[in-house]
Chain A
């Protein structure tokens, strides 16, 4: 069994449109966007709703719980292996992320995961996901 190694994260790329997301992440909260016109959540966050076109979108806190939609162990591209995954949040949107705190051999599609945060260079934080009991 091989534990997923921990790795360093570069400082988040903060801009005027995503600053609230990274501020919340540094406080341990995963924000997503929800449209107040059509009530649909979307990912990645935008200043408008990609589903209906409304500009009435709100930052809302995700429960941080989700399910692995797909994953892959990147074995050669970095100094240590790392796991890229699509995680479908319980709010319905699927986001790209990394999986952490798991044995590589135990990972499987459909596995329940919860958000966790990793400190990044420069003081920010990056949301990642760790498997949890179903």
Chain B
């Protein structure tokens, strides 16, 4: 069963805080839910489906449904790291199409900045099958991206300058976002002059660590049409998981080679039809690889595709992450998936900042890479359209 036009994103709200020492994580979830429901013109009592992932505190789903006072008939706590929230949109559309719910609420929130939890050091937990064979080598999150970047450079001649252009584009967008954590425009030289943290990645190749969150409200099209917001439909979705293949490691591609084509096929569009894309930018290499794997350019051409400001709105044929992305704006709870959807909704509604709004934006792609690109990750792709 296709989910094309079976559900609409009626509410989207990003928490304005980037540091929240005086709020609890549950409170941030609540405020995001309240904001997204108000954006849609709905209330908590209208919600009959709820979605959350690993950032939800306590017993996750059970704690949050109880805390928010929800009365739901459909729940889903699919956990694929930062890509979870894109999969939640897809699963919400499936549930709505199947009649399991009509108003689905999705929340993400966290306080890694206030709690000094940068996500750099992965705790070695027992009973995880790969951990005994990896923890001795002290891998940290950014290593898994740096290993992919190093191989990409080796295979395709990608340069540190080309990676830096992804950050430069994000900073050009972030200067127009009053809530962005980093609003200063940076240059390629600035990125290369920042300290190497995990070769070949510099400090400025890495996303911010921020508190905050976001929420989405996915509804039946009949409900969307009764509300006052522009109609943003879910047109297609794909999800995939890529790991180490039992030792057949290939870092040159990501799970987007599977999640992307599935989403495009369902939506009935091609990369050439897309003028705005939210592409998960945990690190600069993440964007380069997704541009290739989603088909915006050929494999190995990501560096040239991104270079010379071509990802900046109004310059290249594809505007990417016009809110400033995870690199400059926000990466709440060390998981950026929901902010990717929110900026795509802004673009489709024509509500992005005028300096970065893509004129007549009718189609948007959202891509999420969750977990660890170089070891095991979830990849999710959504195609959204304005009706």
Task: Report which A residues bind B (CB closer than 8 A).
Answer: 9-10, 12-15, 17-18, 22, 40-46, 49-51, 69-78, 82, 84-86, 88, 92-98, 109-110, 120, 126, 128
Contact = CB atoms under 8 A, between A and B. Distances in A.
B247 A84 contact: no
B139 A96 contact: yes
B197 A70 contact: no
B273 to A, nearest CB: 34
Interface in B107-138: 120-121, 124, 126-127, 129-138
Contact of B147 (A12, A15, A44, A86): A86
B247 A43 contact: yes
Interface string B360-387: 0000000000000011000000000000
B49 to A, nearest CB: 35
Contacts of A41: 247
Contacts of A46: 129
A86 B249 contact: yes
A9 B137 CA distance: 8
B151 interface: yes
Contacts of A109: 150-151, 154
B251 interface: yes
A42 B6 CA distance: 42
B136 A120 contact: yes
Contact of A72 (B129, B130, B134, B146): B146
Interface of B: 120-121, 124, 126-127, 129-140, 143, 146-148, 150-151, 154, 195-201, 244, 246-249, 251, 374-375
Nearest to A18: B132
Nearest to B148: A70
6 tightest A-B CB contacts, nearest first: A93-B247, A43-B247, A50-B246, A72-B146, A94-B249, A13-B132
B132 A84 contact: no
B137 A75 contact: no
Given A42-B247, A71-B150, A98-B137, 15 more contacts: A12-B136, A14-B132, A18-B132, A44-B134, A45-B133, A51-B246, A69-B251, A72-B198, A75-B196, A75-B197, A76-B195, A76-B197, A93-B247, A96-B134, A120-B136
Contact of B248 (A84, A94, A98, A120): A94
A120 B135 CA distance: 13
Contacts of A69: 151, 249, 251
Main secondary structure of the interface of B (DSSP, over half): mixed
Contacts of B150: 70-72, 109
B143 A72 contact: yes
A17 B165 CA distance: 46
10 contacts: A13-B131, A13-B132, A15-B132, A44-B130, A70-B154, A76-B195, A76-B197, A78-B138, A86-B374, A88-B249
Nearest to B251: A70
B116 to A, nearest CB: 14
A126 B132 CA distance: 10
Contacts of B148: 70
Contact of A77 (B121, B127, B135, B244): B121
A40 B146 CA distance: 29
Contacts of A95: 133, 247
A53 to B, nearest CB: 11
Contacts of B133: 18, 43-45, 95-96
Contacts of A42: 246-247
B154 A74 contact: no
A22 B132 CA distance: 10
Given A95-B133, A96-B139, A84 B147 contact: yes
